[in-house]
Amino acid sequence: MAKPNISIFASGRGSNFKAIIADQSLTCQLLVSDNPTAPVIEIAKKHHIPTFTFEPKQYADKASYEQAILAALKKYEIEWIFLAGYMRMIGPNLLNEYTGKIVNIHPSLSPAFPGKDAITRAYKARSEQTGVTIHYVDEGMDTGPIICQQPVPIHEQDTLETLQTRIQKTEHQLYPKVIKELINVKTLVE
């Protein structure tokens, strides 16, 4: 059975994107980014992965730029969308077209610390643990049905940086695995 085509949406650094495409069982057919200067675009180019980049301010509204995204997704026959640091809410255009096929990764144990700076807020709250959540996307901020969560301890001697590193490592291991399960791809290499 052919693998379904996937698109990754990212706005920034792209370490999750890198971890996903480093998995030999996965291929990404299209990177979508709302930030034409994001480092993630260079990673895509280096790996010859097609990109669709846009600047939201050049469109009248979210509906218009999501129409442009949809056209790109159709062109590449994309079946699943995985958000990896995409800093925008998904609007009804995309949600209706890709119902149950848009997934996000968030660096906290949802529902704790939704939104930006989740790691910093968990660290400052002196929680004993935080974690990583992978969930389906709905119209809320980091709210859709949870697919998988992995706790990450916060040690007393942690700095924000050591905690960030531990969370990123967890993300980079977890996201490719979950993507493979969701799109039903057999693992080639563990």
- Which position among 106, 135, 155, 172 bears the catalytic label? 106
Respond yes or no: is residue 135 known to be catalytic: no
Q: Of 150, 149, 135, 65, nearest to 100 (Cα)?
A: 135
Instruction: At 80, give phi and psi (nearest 5°).
Output: -130, 145
Would you say 84 or 182 has its CB closer to ligand GRF? 84
The answer to the question of whether 74 is labelled as a binding residue is no
Radius of gyration over every alpha carbon of the chain, rounded to an integer in angstroms: 16
15-22 and 160-183 helices, crossing angle to 10°? 40
Whole-number minimum distance, CB 75 to ligand GRF, in Å? 24
Residue span 77-106 as binding mask against ligand GRF, x where in contact by CB under 6 A, dash where not: -------xx-------------------xx
Among 7, 15, 29, 35, binds ligand GRF (CB under 6 A): 15
Q: Of 173, 114, 126, nearest to 153 (Cα)?
A: 126
The answer to the question of whether 93 is labelled as a binding residue is no
- Is residue 14 near ligand GRF by the rule CB under 6 A? yes
Summarize as ranges the residues that interact with ligand GRF (CB under 6 A).
10, 12-17, 84-85, 105-107, 171
Residues making up the binding site = 14-16, 62, 104
